[in-house]
Structure 1
Amino acid sequence: MTLLSPVVARGPLARVNPVAKLGAGLLIAAPLILSVDWVSAVTALILEIPLMAMAGLSWRMFWLRTAPVWIAAPLTGVTIALYGEASGQVHFQWLFMHVSDGSLSLAVAATFRILAIALPGVALFATVDPTDLADGLSQRAKLPSRFVLGALGGLRLVGLLIDDWRELEVARRARGVADTGRIRRLGGMAFALIVLAIRRGSTLATSMEARGFGARTARTWARTSPWGWREWLLLAAGAAISATAVAVAVATGSWNLILGGQA
């Protein structure tokens, strides 16, 4: 199992409809995108802890899945602190780098915003099966089935790219052309991988058309996408987190709406 494959979990939210998870993530992210302040981000992050705990991931899998987020968020904050717009007292300046009160405040806000937006999305979607997501998007979100099924078919083939890359390496080593010129060899292998992907994609498209996936008639589904009180409760939780984060930020006077030109 790779880090990209879905995790089998037993948490209360593990079997919730993927569309509800997507909706909850969008509801949580909406106010964090509109405002640049650390209060709303920290408030949302604290309120998200129960949702992430109920996602059903073990501690080891949670840290493995969210490791890129924990790395990217501080790096983003450091970059903004060094190169963000200077305002207030300047603490450090050298060439294009300047650290000021304004850049530090913006860096802290950006760091917590990334954590608050990305962590619940990664935790909730770690247990999502691509087929369940496709069923939900078509049956519940009413997206075009041709687009959804085509995307699902392409996503199912992503894992084969790794196997193709390994087979190309083995084949080139067997011919004795993989020992020198690694950088030049990388370009050749990448081109060969693209050719293999195009061929496999064409074959997949032809086979799907032959099986009627391109028909414009109403589709039937082998599995229904369930929707009940758990899905509505998750959406309500996402809306409550957003409303609470906004209310706390407004009450403390830290709400900084980007569209208002205050950021």
Structure 2
Amino acid sequence: MSVLTPTRGVRAIDRINPVAKLAAALLLAAVLVLTIDWVSAAVALACEMLLFLWAGLTLRVFLWRTALVWLAAPSTGITTLLYGQASGQEYWSFGLIQVTDGSIDLALATTLRVLAIGLPAVVLFITVDPTDLADGLGQVVHLPARFVLGGLAALRMVGLFIEDWRALGLARRARGVADGAVLRRLGNQTFALLVLSIRRGSKLATAMEARGFGAPIQRTWARSSTFGLREWSLIGIGLMIAVLAVMISVSTGNWNFVFA
């Protein structure tokens, strides 16, 4: 059985208010972007990997949902390694490319920081329902109802856009116009989807206005959004990880404040 297989105690994360998940992810990101050093990012990432065991995800789902983060992190690190600020001993150079002690440290720190920021954001929001998030933003954060409901409607349309993309591809193949150059086909199909999306968005906006979603009144909500001990505990865990990462980085002399 995978170490990331859901257990009975894990299911509590599904009941945590999405606003708390958003706050915890933003808190970690805000601290990690203040410094470029591998120690703080490594400490945060190590703590996060331990918490991922209780995220209620199988190993396959975890790797699949976070695949883009795993691909983006080394890509960013390689770019920094080749074109980062040169300092210390030089190991290899070619034109604008310089691999030095400084670029190696920056590449390692950048890779770990992308993982430490991206992975918890993805994992926390895998279990977020768009309606619950809208309820939380409207009732807990008290954002304008028109903005919240508009964002909710947009999120609900993502699945339809995916189906539209597939339908457009099948329709173009049926007409025999999908066998040309890949880039040209992608551009034409993207433009067709853009036109279809604008039309659907306009119709949705008109329908929502007709139902009074844009009325300047105090809106009521069908479901209450609570914010209690579970939510504060999650934010507290995020704060503890951030503080621990900063303390260890400062104590080891690796803290590198980006605005200094």
TM-score (norm 1): 0.91
Q: Tell whether 2:34 aligns with 1:26.
A: no
Matched residues in 2 for 1:258 and 1:221: separation? 43
Deviation of the 1:52 alpha carbon: 1.8
1:207-256 CA-partner distances (Å, limit 9, x unpaired): 10111110110010011112111001011111111111111111111111
**Corresponding residue for 1:95?**
95
Q: Which moved further from structure 2: 182-191 or 147-156?
A: 182-191
Letter in 2 for 1:44: A
Letter in 2 for 1:109: A
1:56-85 CA-partner distances (Å, limit 9, x unpaired): 111111111111111111111111011101
The alpha-carbon distance between structure 1 residues 186 and 73, as it changes in their structure 2 partners (threshold 3 A), is closer
Q: Tell whether 2:249 aligns with 1:249.
A: yes
**Corresponding residue for 1:72?**
72
1:138-197 CA-partner distances (Å, limit 9, x unpaired): 111111111111011111112212221222222233333333355433333222211111
Deviation of the 1:10 alpha carbon: 5.1
Percent identity of equivalent pairs: 58
Matched residues in 2 for 1:210 and 1:80: separation? 52
Where 2:13 maps in the other structure, the secondary structure is: coil
Deviation of the 1:14 alpha carbon: 2.2
Within-5 A mapping of 1:1-263: 11-260=11-260
Letter in 2 for 1:214: G
Matched residues in 2 for 1:183 and 1:81: separation? 31
CA-atom RMSD in angstroms = 1.5
1:113-160 CA-partner distances (Å, limit 9, x unpaired): 111111111111111011111111111111111111101111111221
CA contact (8 A) 1:12 1:56 kept: no
Where 2:99 maps in the other structure, the secondary structure is: strand
Matched residues in 2 for 1:92 and 1:132: separation? 52
**Corresponding residue for 1:4?**
none
Matched residues in 1 for 2:209 and 2:32: separation? 42
Matched residues in 2 for 1:131 and 1:171: separation? 32
Where 1:166 maps in the other structure, the secondary structure is: helix
Matched residues in 2 for 1:180 and 1:101: separation? 48
Residue segments in structure 1 that go unaligned for 5+ positions in a row: 1-8
Letter in 2 for 1:91: Y
The alpha-carbon distance between structure 1 residues 243 and 190, as it changes in their structure 2 partners (threshold 3 A), is same
Deviation of the 1:27 alpha carbon: 1.4
CA contact (8 A) 1:21 1:234 kept: yes
Letter in 2 for 1:175: R
- Report the number of matched residues: 252
Where 2:197 maps in the other structure, the secondary structure is: helix
Q: Which moved further from structure 2: 175-184 or 164-173?
A: 175-184
Matched residues in 2 for 1:156 and 1:202: separation? 15
The alpha-carbon distance between structure 1 residues 220 and 98, as it changes in their structure 2 partners (threshold 3 A), is same
Matched residues in 1 for 2:134 and 2:115: separation? 27
Letter in 1 for 2:13: L
Matched residues in 1 for 2:203 and 2:132: separation? 24
**Corresponding residue for 1:5?**
none
CA contact (8 A) 1:55 1:123 kept: yes
Where 1:11 maps in the other structure, the secondary structure is: helix
